Amino acid sequence: MGKVAVATTVVCSVAVCAAAALIVRRRMKSSGKWARVIEILKAFEEDCATPIAKLRQVADAMTVEMHAGLASEGGSKLKMLISYVDNLPSGDETGFFYALDLGGTNFRVMRVLLGGKQDRVVKREFKEESIPPNLMTGKSHELFDFIVDVLAKFVATEGKDFHLPPGRQRELGFTFSFPVKQISLSAGTLINWTKGFSIDDTVDKDVVGELVKAMERVGLDMRVAALVNDTIGTLAGGRYTNPDVVVAVILGTGTNAAYVERAHAIPKWHGLLPKSGEMVINMEWGNFRSSHLPLTEYDHSLDLDSLNPGEQILEKIISGMYLGEILRRVLLKMAEEAAFFGDIVPPKLKIPFILRTPNMSAMHSDTSPDLKVVGSKLKDILEVPNSSLKMRKVVISLCNIIASRGARLSAAGIYGILKKIGRDATKDGEAQKSVIAMDGGLFEHYTQFSESMKSSLKELLGDEVSESVEVILSNDGSGVGAALLAASHSQYLELEDDFETS
């Protein structure tokens, strides 16, 4: 063979070897990176694990903290707030009432015509608005002016079906989904903001007073007959349709729970014992924390970056505002440390809260063989144009880990409440029926979450007792519940009572 040919052959074979070496090196590098992805995934799964034994520890800790929070003010991270609701709706409520519901994402206005035991809710109209994010961190009067503006526009559309007896003032129930220290059923001061809200000049203010001032600024003449947390409203609305409702849980932007406590089991209550012998407690369970909670590095960094560091720890690993953000943080680590989306970290992936929980649940419920919903969400939200099936499967695994941790911990919290009120076991073979009224967009729309929560609760209760515990979706119970509580505290009630007895 000529020298040229030999040289060419040598050059080619060197090039082929080099190319082969490059491919091998790239494969080894990519397999090394993939191994890192799986390592991150496995570590996350382990840190989020909620075996039944851990759930029982969390439930017991919740029960202990409930006792501590009822024993003294500040006795626990669980505020265990007295609602001044010592009588839940009887079903006899009648009349025409408004309800306002300020949540973590949405603001709802509603009017209901109540027809007593016979006709129940004769008519109901409502309107929902998203709360402009800038109002969540602006000035107090701006938020309340927004609320009153929506309310005034809604009142202006009042039709002939809703009529007030002449000379009467419109009355409303105000559902306020934040921790409030109630001083009566219709007054209370904001303890602190949560979720995405942070408005300094509302803290320690009477939120009813803020609302009334905003109404006066526009000449809207309405009386606030009740101020309730959305869990209290949901409990009241739930009890209106089901007499066995004893607990209400919200899984929405935030999370919280309320339940019916025996008035004599509230050492910090120094008022007169209510005739009913009962008092509804707003637990503010989102603020629960315990060494038994399975917290990860992503939870700690999310908490540090939040508007309320060190607060609402349970809420930050369970509720709708945060689940998508946890997913984003894990994907970001995989992108930065294992080139999960390639050598460049997608810029969008670095934006906090860009990955919302509704998008997470849409990916989680993707049953297509090629997981095309996952692919399109990664493309539309994170601008990741191409993703392999194995990448999409990792995303599904992360959704499952995050959602089942939140769901199972919610179940543990409910189990802790049932233990507190002695409804976690049968007595002489009998078990009292206990109904848990649920509300909130996370529970209502994230099926894998709600199913996991219900199955975990059954697992904790055991077959026999779980027969007597029912979980129901009490959709917008808080709106009707607030109107019912307004009705039972209407300024015209005495007139009606006098009328009936005269």
Ligand X SMILES: O=P(O)(O)OC[C@H]1O[C@@H](O)[C@H](O)[C@@H](O)[C@@H]1O
| E strand intervals along 151-244 | 170-176, 180-184, 187-190, 222-228
The total number of residues shown for the chain amounts to 502
- For the bound state, the minimum distance from the C-beta of residue 211 to ligand X, rounded and expressed in Å, comes to 16
What SS3 state is found at 258? strand
- How far, in Å, CA of 29 to CA of 31, rounded? 5
Q: Considering only residues 89 through 128, tell me which ones interact with ligand ADP, judged by CB under 6 A.
A: 103-106
Among 37, 215, 250, 338, binds ligand X (CB under 6 A): 250
Active-site entry in 76, 177, 387, 488: 177
Query: If contact means CB under 5 to 8 A according to the sort of partner, which of ligand X, ligand ADP, none does residue 194 touch?
Result: ligand X
**Is 392 an active-site residue?**
no
DSSP 25-59: HHHHHHHHHHHHHHHHHHHHHHHT---HHHHHHHH
Query: If contact means CB under 5 to 8 A according to the sort of partner, which of ligand ADP, ligand X, none does residue 416 touch?
Result: none
Among 99, 321, 384, 401, binds ligand ADP (CB under 6 A): 321
Binding flag, residue 481, ligand ADP (CB under 6 A) = no
Closest CA to 409 of 305, 295, 324: 295
- For the bound state, the minimum distance from the C-beta of residue 131 to ligand ADP, rounded and expressed in Å, comes to 7
- Distance between alpha carbon 442 and the CA centroid of its chain, in Å? 6
Options 35-43, 44-52, 247-255, 372-380: segment touching ligand X (CB under 6 A): 247-255
- For the bound state, the minimum distance from the C-beta of residue 58 to ligand X, rounded and expressed in Å, comes to 18
Active-site entry in 230, 299, 303, 424: 230
Binding flag, residue 233, ligand ADP (CB under 6 A) = no
| E strand intervals along 46-144 | 81-82, 94-102, 106-115, 121-130
Q: What is the dihedral of CA 81, 86, 92, 97, to 10 degrees?
A: -40
Pairing of strands 170-176, 222-228: parallel
Strand partners, 100: 109, 174
Query: If contact means CB under 5 to 8 A according to the sort of partner, which of ligand ADP, ligand X, none does residue 178 touch?
Result: ligand X
Which residue, 135 or 460, has its beta carbon nearer to ligand ADP?
135
Which residue, 59 or 109, has its beta carbon nearer to ligand ADP?
109
Query: If contact means CB under 5 to 8 A according to the sort of partner, which of ligand ADP, ligand X, none does residue 358 touch?
Result: ligand ADP
Binding flag, residue 196, ligand X (CB under 6 A) = no
Binding flag, residue 253, ligand ADP (CB under 6 A) = yes
**Is 177 an active-site residue?**
yes
Which residue, 76 or 404, has its beta carbon nearer to ligand ADP?
404
Burial of 362 (0-12, 13-18, 19+ CB in 10 A): middle
Which residue, 116 or 358, has its beta carbon nearer to ligand ADP?
358
The backbone region for 371, taken as left when phi is positive above 0, alpha when psi lies in -120 to 50, beta otherwise, is left
Q: Which residues make Cβ contacts (< 8 Å) with residue 449, sequence separation at least 6?
A: 251, 361, 403, 406, 407, 442, 443
Binding flag, residue 229, ligand X (CB under 6 A) = yes
Strand partners, 114: 95, 121
Which residue, 103 or 375, has its beta carbon nearer to ligand ADP?
103
**Is 108 an active-site residue?**
yes
What SS3 state is found at 317? helix
- How far, in Å, CA of 427 to CA of 453, rounded? 25
Strand partners, 106: 130
Q: Considering only residues 404 through 443, tell me which ones interact with ligand X, judged by CB under 6 A.
A: 440
Query: If contact means CB under 5 to 8 A according to the sort of partner, which of ligand ADP, ligand X, none does residue 375 touch?
Result: none
Among 115, 274, 294, 358, binds ligand ADP (CB under 6 A): 358
Binding flag, residue 256, ligand X (CB under 6 A) = yes
| Helix H or strand E segment including 473 | strand 469-473
Among 252, 286, 346, 477, binds ligand ADP (CB under 6 A): 252
State the residues that interact with ligand ADP by CB under 6 A: 103-106, 177, 252-253, 320-321, 357-358, 361, 440-442, 445-446
State the residues that interact with ligand X by CB under 6 A: 103-104, 177-179, 194-195, 229-231, 250, 252-256, 284, 286, 315, 440
Any idea which residues carry the catalytic annotation? 108, 177, 230
